[in-house]
Amino acid sequence: MVYKKFGYVFRQIREQKHISLSDFSSIGISKATLSRFERAETMMNFEKVVQALQLMGIGLEEYEYLLNDYAPNESEYLLKEIETAFLKQDKKELNNLHKIALEAGYPYISLAAKSSYTELSPENIDTITDYLYDIKVWGQIELYVFYFTMNKLNIRDILYILDLFLLEKKT
């Protein structure tokens, strides 16, 4: 079952921290519900999982890291590899990462890699610009894509994107 690992990892954390099933009743999670979640019989709603993790002193990022067997997800891994190749100015590796990201279904990460070793076509620049204009919530991936492609963008677009970013941060 898909949820098996969620409950298994949750249970490992709970037991390691010596927290009983009944301790979660204070946040509205019954022993039966939590037990079924840990046995992968059911999935708890996101809000309850977050509350339970907070009760145990675990953040979502750490929980995700544990779920992924202590490894970053594929997009994070690609971005770190692009950053390393970029700093080394390894054009061959950047080209390879461009192809890998494209084949893996990460078109914007692919263009970020490509922009680090060669010029982008006007169509590629339009694709990146449109993507960056449409971002409502800036995460790590979006920031990396902006960082790696910024030197290929028109200065007006850069300023507009920065304005959008700063406006989003104020809300």
Burial 71-109 (b: 16+ CB within 10 A, else e): eeeebeebbebbeebbeeeeeebbbebbebbeeeebebb
pTM of the model: 0.66
Above 90 in pLDDT, residue 69? no
Q: Could you tell me what percent of the chain has a pLDDT over 70?
A: 95
Domains of the chain, CATH where assigned: 4-67 (1.10.260.40), 74-170 (no CATH)
User: Mind listing the pLDDT tens digit for each residue in 14-44?
Assistant: 999 999 999 999 999 999 999 999 998 899 9
Above 80 in pLDDT, residue 147? yes
Over residues 84-91, the mean pLDDT reads 96
User: Mind listing the pLDDT tens digit for each residue in 159-168?
Assistant: 999 998 888 7
